[in-house]
């Protein structure tokens, strides 16, 4: 694992956790507290928040690994495209499969998809910026 990869991996991991907080606590926190959603979630005392940090670590590693294997050094546009592709691959199934299985409002599924797609695009841009130009 070279320094460029490690720095990109860490930047993606930190950004992912910050974006998760902004999305799920800031933007969606009130929705999670509505009766329709709160009844299917664990109570705060039982929540296993540490799992989110572990899965973010695994995701960030593979997100960066795949990015580094195909990176052509074309800058931010390449990061935007990569983030969009990953977002479409991950956010659509997560949002709509969850909607199909759990009794969540459709508006929440749409927001999970939209915010997820935006999140992955931002992560792609970060990866492109930190990974830098091909030398």
The reported pTM is 0.92
What is the pLDDT averaged over residues 83-104? 96
Using DSSP's 3-state secondary structure scheme, residue 117 falls into helix
What is the pLDDT averaged over residues 83-107? 95
Using DSSP's 3-state secondary structure scheme, residue 72 falls into coil
Residue 3 has pLDDT above 90, yes or no: yes
Q: Read off the pLDDT band of 93 (50, 70, 90).
A: very high
- DSSP annotation of 13 reads H
Q: According to the model, what pLDDT value does residue 46 have?
A: 75
Task: Please state the domain extents for the chain.
Answer: 3-40+47-131
Q: What is the distance of C-alpha 119 from the center of its chain?
A: 5
> What is the sign of the dihedral through the CA atoms of 134, 131, 83 and 87?
positive
Q: What is the pLDDT of residues 12-64, one digit of tens each?
A: 999 999 999 999 999 999 999 888 888 888 777 677 888 999 999 999 999 99
């Amino acid at each position: 694992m070279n320094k460029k990869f490690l720095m990109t991996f860490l930047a993606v991991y930190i950004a992912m956790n910050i974006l998760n907080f902004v999305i799920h606590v800031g933007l969606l926190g009130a929705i999670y507290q509505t009766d329709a959603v709160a009844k299917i979630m664990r109570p705060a005392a039982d929540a296993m928040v540490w799992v989110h940090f572990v899965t973010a670590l695994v995701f960030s590693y593979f997100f960066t690994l795949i990015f580094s294997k195909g990176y052509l050094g074309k800058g931010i546009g390449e990061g935007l495209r990569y983030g969009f592709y990953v977002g479409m691959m991950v956010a659509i199934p997560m949002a709509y499969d969850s909607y199909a299985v759990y009794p969540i409002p459709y508006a929440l599924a749409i927001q999970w998809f939209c915010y997820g797609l935006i999140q992955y695009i931002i992560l792609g841009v970060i990866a492109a910026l930190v990974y830098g130009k091909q030398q």
